[in-house]
Amino acid sequence: MEVLPRKVEVAVLVDRKHKSFPIKVDYVGLSLATTLQEDIDVQIKTPGSYAVFLR
């Protein structure tokens, strides 16, 4: 990169409580406590309408 950004902000749809990476999240849509074995499926139907499934 020729120009480095001054600041990087991170937004996530679903924030899982366990941390695999040392990244600070600035904006969170939904926060869930899960295990590493569980999967999260997010389905966006229309803007503002979504479903979250824990498998």
pLDDT single digits (tens) 1-53:
799 999 999 998 888 877 777 888 899 988 888 888 888 888 888 887 888 88
Q: Quick check: helix, strand or coil at residue 51?
A: strand
Residues paired with residue 28 on neighbouring β-strands, in sequence order:
12
Cβ(2)–Cβ(17) under 8 Å?
Answer: no
Closest-CA residue to 16 (of 37, 45, 1)? 37
Per-residue confidence (pLDDT) for residue 14, from 0 to 100 = 87
Per-residue confidence (pLDDT) for residue 3, from 0 to 100 = 92
User: Does pTM surpass 0.75?
Assistant: no
Cβ(12)–Cβ(18) under 8 Å?
Answer: no
